[in-house]
Amino acid sequence: MVLTAAAIQQGLRTQRLGRQLSVYGRVDSTNGIARELAEQGAPEGTAVIAREQTGGRGRLGRPWASPPGGLWLSLVLRPPLPVEDWPLIGLAMTVGIAVACETVTNAPVRLKWPNDLVLEGRKLGGVLVEAPGGFAIAGIGLNSNVPADTLPEEIRTRAVSLSDHLGHPVDLVTLTQELLLEVERHYDLLSIDRKAVIEQWRRKAVTLGRRVRVLGPEVIEGVAESVDDRGALVVRTEAGPRTVVAGDVLLREFETP
C-alpha cells in the first residue's frame, strides 16, 4: 500500500500520535519540519513523514542516509516530564519501535544504548531526540524497505533493513500504524511507571553485561552493567562504577560509531 496520510490514519489506533500527520515526498529533514510546526503551536503527537530525506541527521550532527523505502518520521512531543528525564524518551521510543517491528514482521529487534535498533548485529534504525526549548522533536529512522547495499558504502556492512532480514518488503502503512501505537504506549508509560519501560528496554538490550568502550566527553572502558532511572548507562570500570549520560557505545574494539 502506498504511504499516504489517509492510508495511515484509516485504522490508526492511537490517541494523539499521528492524529495530525503530513506525508512529504523529498525533504531536507523531517525533524526540521516538525520543529517549525512545534514552534507554530502544533499539538503533541503531530507527525511528519518523508519518503526521502536529503539532509537526514543522526546524533552529534552525523548524517543519516534516508533513501526511498525507509520510514523517516518525526513527532512533536510536549513531554510532561522534567527535562532531566528526557533522555528516557529515546529509550521508550526504541522499545515501542522494537515491539512494533516484532508484531508486524516477527524480526527479533534488539536495542543498543542509547537509541539504536539492532537486527542481526547490525543497525536497523535509530532515534534522535532534539529539545530546542519547551518541546521535544523525536525523529525515528527505520530501514524498513531499504536494501543495505543501496546505502553509502561506509555504512553498508554495518546496516540492515527489515526487507533484508525477511527477504521481502514490509507493508509500510501497517508498520507505521503499529509503530505509532507502540511508541505512544511506551511514551505514555514513562509518566506512569518508568521502571516498567526501563525493564522492557533491559530485556531487549544487547549492551548490558558486555565489555564496552564508551565514547563521550571522555573514553570509558568497562562492563556495561545497567541503565539507571534517568536512562544513563552505568559502566563498571577498574576505578569503580561510572555513569554515562550521553555517548556512543562500541561493543567491539574495531567498531566505529
Question: Which of 140/235 has CB closer to ligand BT5?
Answer: 140
Piece of the chain touching ligand BT5 by CB under 6 A; list 37-45, 54-62, 205-213, 225-233: 54-62
Piece of the chain touching ligand BT5 by CB under 6 A; list 17-25, 35-43, 69-77, 212-220: 69-77
Piece of the chain touching ligand BT5 by CB under 6 A; list 70-78, 92-100, 181-189, 217-225: 70-78
And the C-alpha cell for 183?
511508541
Strands, E assignment, the chain: 21-27, 47-53, 71-77, 110-112, 116-119, 122-130, 136-142, 211-215, 219-227, 233-237, 240-244, 248-250
Q: Least distance (Å) from ligand BT5 to the CB of residue 194?
A: 22
Q: Is 29 in the site for ligand BT5 (CB under 6 A)?
A: yes
Q: Is 172 in the site for ligand BT5 (CB under 6 A)?
A: no
Side-chain-side CA neighbours of residue 100 (13 Å) = 28
Distance linking the first and last C-alpha atoms of the chain: 34
The SS3 of residue 96 is: helix
Question: Which of 58/216 has CB closer to ligand BT5?
Answer: 58
Range 72-91, binding ligand BT5 (CB under 6 A): 72-74
Piece of the chain touching ligand BT5 by CB under 6 A; list 12-20, 124-132, 166-174, 189-197: 124-132
DSSP code of 57?
Answer: B
Q: Is 65 in the site for ligand BT5 (CB under 6 A)?
A: yes
Question: Which of 54/237 has CB closer to ligand BT5?
Answer: 54
Q: Is 14 in the site for ligand BT5 (CB under 6 A)?
A: no
Query: Quick one: the chain helix, strand, coil %, rounded to 5?
Result: 35, 30, 40
Q: Which residue from 18, 26, 74, 33 is spatially nearest to 50, judged by alpha carbons?
A: 26
And the C-alpha cell for 167?
527477504
Range 128-147, binding ligand BT5 (CB under 6 A): 128, 139-141, 143
Q: Least distance (Å) from ligand BT5 to the CB of residue 49?
A: 9
And the C-alpha cell for 153?
558504502
C-alpha to C-alpha distances, 66 to 16, 26, 122, 141, 189, nearest whole angstrom: 26, 10, 17, 8, 30
Binding site for ligand BT5 (CB under 6 A): 29-31, 53, 56-60, 62, 64-66, 72-74, 116, 123, 126-128, 139-141, 143, 151, 155, 159
